């Protein structure tokens, strides 16, 4: 492969309008194969499209000297490509212990938090639209779908990652906190996540790096099967492909169907809430009330999707909310007036006359 832009990927970016003239792209640069290929591609893309590019490396404080070397390598490569570089250091083990999280989830939480804060800062500084570029590929997508499926995720989780989405939308099922106020500052339109490599298999990326002579770092923890995602990637997906060579492709096709289903429900629940919901504000917090007679006319599945959308509108995230919580809210309708249920993250559901109140304290 000769040096130059990946034509197919370039046409996809152009067709989907993932990057616009004058926009700012903050690349999550780990130094691994995927992010190194995305760095190369974005630099080539700048020859055809005018946009600003910065790279950010998040050092998790997990792998000691190896992690320090990854950060140094990432900085060196960014400088080689003449891309401004930022490094953020945190302690994932401490954060995981304090918040009772696994290392994978804690690392993801802090990584996205750091990227989001820097993107918002850069956007506020320049007043220009800023997007975060992530190097997830097709195998990551299949792994994510399986991971969410076995955890009992809803439509959002099983629909997988999107090539382009607002960070606030991604946070409906993601494992990091939402800062609503930050997204509502003047001149800020919210931060968009870009995943331009979702159409590529991992083996394709490795082949292109070899042909181009681009170096990259190997994360030793990626071979540790005690991490659930690694086990899925190293053992389960290959086993599925032995059963059916098109297993990954079929998983992605199923994800696309779930994504369409999710979009349909999201549109319909928003319309429903606009028609039958009422917002209230008090000294103790804010609430949204829903018409119980109208709720009882709806299918049970649709009611649960209404509760989910209402909670997202109320607090900006449905993290920590699951099927049991939505079933619990539904049960209040049967109990009638006076029913009350405490939910995660300071949310409470109660029945008052013919209204279901969801309150955030």
Binding site, annotated residues for ATP: 30-35
* CA dihedral over 338, 339, 343, 349, signed as positive or negative: negative
- List the binding residues: 30-35
CB 27 within 8 A of CB 196: no
Tally of helices (H runs) and strands (E runs) in the chain: 16, 11
Q: b/e string for 180-205 if b means 16 or more Cβ within 10 A?
A: eebbeeeebebbbbbbbbbebeeebb
CA atoms within 13 A on the CB side of 323: 8
CB 170 within 8 A of CB 157: no
CB 173 within 8 A of CB 18: no
What is the DSSP track for 76-98?
Answer: HHHHHTT--EEEEE--HHHHHHH
């Amino acid at each position: 492969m000769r040096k130059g832009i990946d034509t197919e990927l370039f046409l996809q970016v152009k067709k989907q309008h993932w990057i616009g003239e004058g926009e700012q792209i903050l690349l999550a640069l780990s130094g691994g194969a995927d992010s190194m290929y995305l760095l190369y591609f974005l630099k080539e893309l700048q020859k055809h499209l005018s946009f600003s590019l910065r790279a950010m490396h998040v050092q998790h404080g997990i792998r000691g000297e190896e992690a320090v070397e990854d950060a140094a390598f990432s900085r060196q490569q960014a400088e080689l490509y003449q891309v401004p570089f930022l490094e953020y250091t945190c302690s994932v083990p401490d954060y995981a212990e304090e918040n009772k999280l696994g290392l994978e989830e804690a690392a993801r939480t802090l990584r996205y938090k750091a990227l989001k804060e820097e993107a918002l800062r850069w956007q506020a500084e320049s007043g220009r639209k800023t997007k975060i570029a992530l190097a997830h590929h097709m195998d990551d997508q299949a792994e994510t779908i399986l991971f969410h499926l076995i955890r009992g995720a809803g439509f959002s989780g099983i629909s997988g990652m999107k090539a382009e989405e607002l960070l606030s939308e991604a946070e409906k099922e993601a494992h990091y906190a939402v800062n609503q106020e930050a997204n509502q500052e003047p001149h800020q339109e919210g931060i968009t996540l870009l995943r331009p490599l979702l159409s590529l298999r991992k083996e394709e990326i490795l082949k292109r790096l070899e042909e181009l002579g681009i170096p990259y770092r190997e994360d030793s923890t990626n071979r540790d099967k005690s991490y659930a995602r690694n086990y899925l990637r190293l053992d389960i997906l290959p086993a599925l492909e032995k059963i059916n060579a098109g297993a990954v492709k079929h998983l992605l096709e199923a994800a696309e169907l779930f994504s369409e289903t999710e979009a349909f429900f999201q549109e319909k629940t928003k319309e429903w809430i606009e028609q039958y919901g009422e917002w209230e504000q008090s000294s103790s917090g804010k609430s949204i009330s829903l018409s119980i007679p109208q709720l009882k006319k709806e299918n049970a599945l649709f009611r649960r999707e209404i509760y989910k959308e209402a909670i997202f509108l109320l607090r900006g995230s449905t993290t920590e909310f699951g099927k049991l919580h939505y079933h619990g809210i539904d049960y209040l309708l049967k109990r009638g007036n006076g029913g009350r249920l405490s939910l995660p993250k300071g949310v409470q559901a109660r029945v008052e006359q013919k209204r279901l109140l969801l309150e955030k304290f």
